Amino acid sequence: MKRFRNRNFFWGPILTTFILGSASAHTAPMANEKPFTFTTWSKKTADGFSGYFEVPENRNIKDSRRLSIEYVRFPATGKKAAPPIVYLAGGPGGSGIMAVNYRFGMFMALRKYGDVIALDQRGTGRSNDLANCESKQTIPPLTPISDAQYIDHHRSALQECLSFWRNTGVDLTAYNTLENARDLEALRQHLGAEKIVLWGTSYGSHLALAALKHIEGSIDRVILSSAEGLNQTVKLPSRTESYLDRLQLAVNQQPAAKTAYPDIKRLMQRVHAKLDKQPLKIQLTQRDGSKKDYLLQRRDMQQIASAFIADPRSAAHLLNFYRAIDLGKTPTFDQVPGRYFPDGFLQPGAPISLRPMPTAMDIASGISKGRKARVAVQAETALLRDYLNFSYRYDGLAPELDLGNSFRTNPKSDVPILLLSGTLDGRTYIESQREAISGLSNATQVTVVNAGHNLFMASSAIQDTINLFMEGRPIEQTTLTIDLPDLAPK
């Protein structure tokens, strides 16, 4: 494979080269940086620098090829020198640079406390030169198949893709959270900073927790939301059941929603049983506007639910889907953006495809034997079974990628930590988040009532709390409450 050096990358309306070079008045480009203006999808702009630094792809191999890790740096607006703040996107596989579009206000607000870095981790966004894999495996769109057959198709697809990547020279053993953490140390050195602040969400929090174990001395403080512990890549089905109980309590606060959904769990059970008895033929709109027939099975609804429970707003759509099927109607999937659905669902009959970085990262973080056994037992009776994290079904297929149980132990540290957790987060459950930081002695936990997985922009009070943390001031209000969206059927 050729050495990856994409210096002239242009990303549609998102990044526009700043020809005049009008850098911020109190700073200048560092090594390997160029001035540019970031333009968001909503046409907001901010001057900054586009930069890169180089790292070995695999630090365990002498003369490993070099990777270019790309980032965007927004210079600090405060007068006091402070450590740079590095944003760690979720996924795994999310682009930190792309995330500026979603969290522009936070990126700008944090400049008061230091340079803010939007990082594209190795194998993501502008730091990616790896080819996706399209397998020969397809799921029959109009023929019912069992869960076992469905899982076999996906395991075969992974094995095909592992061979494909090996044959094209991709070193998947270099794409794991430990190497990502070492990249953060390389970034710190590149920036010439004594320490860095980590700001991570979801998988980004997983990476931040790993960094606390491996480069603790280089970390000034850490802001986390929706934390995923180092042995929590695969979620416990019992925690999903507890989340659904919390969702029911939220529904019960709204009379119209309570009337429509008096018992969420029984509604889901009825629909699953109905689809097991008779799958539902539906039509799915394709990108070109055409329609394709598809046979909706119980497993499809479990996977859709696994995606939609992340936040209250998407959970409201999910409940509407279930209610429609329960009433003998066809759910209106077309009214929801496609990004909310599981990979491949909206393209029936398409080959199963896999992305190298997220596939390798999840397999590498893995699952301990004890946790795997708990998941297996709980999945037998859980409403969503084990579909929340499909990497569970890949366990054992690529043992050379697994980082092992030593990686999965919780970090112990006295670095200041702020954790923001939503009570209606259906991806990283609030009980699990508390467990994930149990070894951190200097942690402040803030519960955001009614917030989901993507909570950073849910309330100005969240930014106020982060400001207090960055200023080293006490956080007295450790419970914040935001308004519930309308959960009633539309």
Helix (H) or strand (E) holding 137: strand 133-138
Q: Set out the domains of the chain in order of their start, with CATH numbers.
A: 15-129+174-232+407-481 (3.40.50.1820), 133-171+354-404 (no CATH), 237-349 (no CATH)
pLDDT, tens digit, 9 for 90 and up, residues 439-457: 999 999 999 999 999 999 9
pLDDT score, position 339: 86
pLDDT digits (tens, 9 = 90+) for 41-90: 999 999 999 999 999 999 999 999 999 999 999 999 998 889 999 999 99
Q: What is the pLDDT of residue 65?
A: 94
Q: Residue 335: what pLDDT? A: 86
Task: Compute the distance between CA of residue 226 and CA of residue 90 in angstroms, rounded to an integer.
Answer: 10
Distance, in Å, from the CA atom of 437 to the CA atom of 445, rounded to the nearest integer, reads: 9
pLDDT tens for 238-292 read 999 999 999 999 999 999 999 999 999 999 999 999 999 999 999 999 988 899 9
Is residue 3 classed exposed, middle or buried when 0-12, 13-18 and 19+ CB atoms within 10 A define those classes?
exposed
pLDDT of residue 361: 97
Cβ atoms < 10 Å from Cβ of 441 = 11
| pLDDT bracket for residue 324 (50, 70, 90) | very high
Task: Give residue 14's pLDDT.
Answer: 39
pLDDT confidence bin for 471, thresholds 50/70/90: very high
Mean pLDDT for the chain?
A: 93
How high is the pLDDT of residue 11? 38
Which amino acid is residue 271, in one-letter code? V
- Put simply, whether the predicted model's pTM sits higher than 0.85 gets the answer yes
Examine the pLDDT at 134 and tell me if it is beyond 70.
yes
The predicted pLDDT at position 1 comes to: 38
